[in-house]
A and B are shown apart, each in its own frame.
Chain A
Amino acid sequence: VTYDLVEPVVFAVLSIAIFAAGAAVVLVDRVTAAALFMALTFLAMAGMFVLLGAETVAAFQVLIYVGAITVLILYGVMFTPQAPRPYALFFQRQTPLAAVFVIFLAIPVLLAAFGFRSDRPVVRGGDLPPLGRSLFLEFAFPFEVASVLLVAAMIGAIVLVRREEDERR
């Protein structure tokens, strides 16, 4: 077995995991299972980032997507219990229209993506020093704006779900 086969095989396994888990998020009935399939998709995507040689982004992917966002969504599922419902009420009313729309949009984009001819990506590790340099020197101001946005979103979320005791008299 040569080493040349390892990367395509890992890529194939990761793509199958991404497709299967992504389709399961859309199709599976139980919301908790959908959230865990979403976490699996994110984990396979982190594997893709490692395959592309972007280890730092893969680490942040695991920390933020697989960790924080999945836990947040699981809390959202926990706080909104739903009675089991018939499968006929599973999809929205405009599903046929939406399916036609998605198919018409997807066909040209997927054809372009599959027909994309280019050189093979150059895989190299060690993306942390250049990433840190451009994030904190060239993109320092957008970085600060992003942090302000995050704080504003968190405060907004707290305000939205706060029980207002003084209004309830």
Chain B
Amino acid sequence: VISMVPLGAYIAVSAALFFIGLTGVLVRRNAVVILMCVELMLNAGNLALIAFSRRYGAPDERGSVFVMFVLVIAAAEVAVGLAIVLALYRNRPTVDVDEVRAMHG
């Protein structure tokens, strides 16, 4: 079956969402929002992997396999990231990354 949507459109959506997420990571102060934006970037990468895998992939679905590993990494990352944010919040009641200066040296 030939799709009506070209592969470049999926890649463009993926790149745009990646840069939306990157902007959020670099611009926002709230550590929890920064974690959310990292998840958006990972998800944009997933879309590119699936799109290329569907078009060029071998019949063994390697792109989807990599997406499975990205899912695992994302779950681990958000668990550890939130744990660090909660541990920080317990010491000082803030999630503002500009105010956390304990490791400035």
Task: Tell me the bound Cα distance from A7 to B9 in angstroms.
Answer: 12
Task: Select B98's contact among A65, A80, A92, A118, beta carbons within 8 Å.
Answer: A92
Interface size on A, residues (CB 8 A): 90
Q: Which of B7, B32, B97 contacts A116 (CB 8 A)?
A: B7
Cα separation A102 to B74 with both chains bound (whole Å): 23
**Interchain CB contact under 8 A, B29 and A18:** no
Q: Categorize the interface residue count of chain B.
A: 35 or more
Complex partner residue of A110 from B16, B61, B64, B75, CB under 8 angstroms: B16
Chain B: which residue is nearest A42 at the CB level?
Answer: B43
With both beta carbons as reference points, the residue of chain B lying nearest to A93 in the complex is identified as B98
- In the complex, chain A residues whose CB is within 8 Å of the CB of B50: 48-49, 52, 54, 57
Task: Decide yes or no: A73 and B82 within 8 Å by CB, A92-B28, A116-B12, A122-B3 being known contacts.
Answer: yes
Cβ contacts under 8 Å, A106 to chain B: 15, 19, 22
Q: Are A123 and B47 in contact (CB under 8 A)?
A: no
Chain A residues with CB under 8 A of B9: 11, 15
Cβ contact within 8 Å between B82 and A76: yes
B84 near A114: Cβ-Cβ < 8 Å? no
Classify the secondary structure of B's interface with A.
helix
Q: Do B7 and A121 have beta carbons less than 8 Å apart?
A: yes
Say which residue of A60, A76, A124 sits within 8 Å of B32 (CB atoms).
Answer: A76
Contact of B89 among A79, A92, A139 (CB under 8 A): A79
- In the bound complex, how far is the Cα of B75 from the Cα of A165, in angstroms? 28
A56 to B94, CA, bound (A): 39
> When chains A and B are docked, how far (Å) is the Cα of A77 from the Cα of B7?
37
Q: Which residues of A contact B73 (CB under 8 A)?
A: 146, 149
In whole angstroms, what is the CA distance A25 to B46 when docked?
19
Q: Is A84 close to B, CB under 8 A? A: no
The one of A92, A133, A158 in contact with B26, judged by C-beta atoms closer than 8 angstroms, is A92
8 contacts between A and B (CB under 8 A): A38-B39, A73-B82, A113-B15, A115-B8, A146-B69, A150-B76, A152-B76, A153-B79
Interface residues of B (CB under 8 A from A): 1-17, 19-24, 26-30, 32-33, 35-37, 39-40, 43, 46-47, 50-51, 53-55, 59-62, 64-65, 67-69, 71-80, 82-87, 89-90, 94-98
